[in-house]
Amino acid sequence: LAKTTQPISMDSYEGQEVNITCSHNNIATNDYITWYQQFPSQGPRFIIQGYKTKVTNEVASLFIPADRKSSTLSLPRVSLSDTAVYYCLVLGGQGGKLIFGQGTELSVKP
Amino acid sequence: GAVVSQHPSWVICKSGTSVKIECRSLDFQATTMFWYRQFPKQSLMLMATSNEGSKATYEQGVEKDKFLINHASLTLSTLTVTSAHPEDSSFYICSATDSGRAGEQFFGPGTRLTVL
């Protein structure tokens, strides 16, 4: 299982764009990159998943360079409710267990 | 779609008693379910992988006799914490994989266990 590394914490202000970068140097050919969001005392919530290049949904964008050794989660115009812990995970194409790293604690200030 | 529920959402018990936590996939069949434990200000730690109709696979360091997992149907997995002690107090979260949507896990809301 590929190990991921991401910043422990980040601070931002309302209305700003936030980019959280994750490194996964040992990613395998059939691995997908997945991001989850977790609020205190709640289960993680799926945000976005991608394999290469760029993926966008109504919540976020995910940028993956050609070598796939890193990825960047982009949250446009964050609000106070985006304050949460964000986890970057690498998952095999056929599913399987997720090993959570430390995550990035994002704090959005007014 | 793809909703996972847990019951109870919180439980308080006395030391030495056993507690059962249920995890259900409400609108899909989950051939595989996972159990995690999360202590305050820490990340999720995978405890075990549960496959329907077979024995669970426990991660290293997790006592299988203490944390009993049963996956009797495609929509239900249970975690029983036997002879609970205060150090077992934690946030327990389950997740399930939808076989039709490979690579995506859906998480339950979690169960807060407090052992007095």
Tell me whether A28 touches chain B (CB under 8 Å).
no
The pLDDT assigned to B81 comes to 97
Q: With an 8 Å Cβ cutoff, are B93 and A43 in contact?
A: yes
Q: With an 8 Å Cβ cutoff, are B103 and A32 in contact?
A: yes
pLDDT (tens digit per residue) in B63-90: 999 999 998 888 999 999 999 999 999 9
Distance separating alpha carbons of residues B52 and B54, to the nearest angstrom: 6
Tell me whether A50 touches chain B (CB under 8 Å).
no
Closest approach of B59 to chain A, Cα-based (Å): 10
**Assign residue B104 a region: left if phi > 0, alpha if psi is -120 to 50, beta otherwise?**
beta
Q: Which two tokens stand for residue A48?
A: 């976005």
Residues of A in contact with B44 (CB under 8 A): 44, 87, 100
- Residues 6 or more apart from B112 whose CB is under 8 A from it? A41, B9, B10, B11, B91, B92
The pLDDT assigned to A91 comes to 80
Average pLDDT (A87-110) is 85
The pLDDT assigned to B54 comes to 85
Nearest by CB to B103, which of A49, A87, A101? A49
pLDDT (tens digit per residue) in A29-45: 988 899 999 999 999 99
Bridge partners of B10, per DSSP, are B112
Closest approach of B17 to chain A, Cα-based (Å): 24
The pLDDT assigned to A95 comes to 54
Which residues of chain B are under the pLDDT cut of 70? 1, 99-103
Of A1-5, A92-96, B107-111, the range with the highest mean pLDDT is B107-111
Residue of A nearest to B93 (CA): A43
Query: Mean of the per-residue pLDDT values for chain B?
Result: 92
Tell me whether B44 touches chain A (CB under 8 Å).
yes
Residues of B in contact with A97 (CB under 8 A): 34, 46, 49
The pLDDT assigned to A57 comes to 95
Nearest by CB to A41, which of B6, B32, B110? B110
- What DSSP line would sit under B78-101, residue for residue? EEEE-S--GGG-EEEEEEEEETTS
Q: Which of A98, A102, A104, A107 is the best mutation test for B, with the most CBs of B within 10 A?
A: A98
pLDDT band at A94; cut points 50, 70, 90: low
Tell me whether B45 touches chain A (CB under 8 Å).
yes
In the predicted structure, residue A2 carries a pLDDT above the cut 70: no
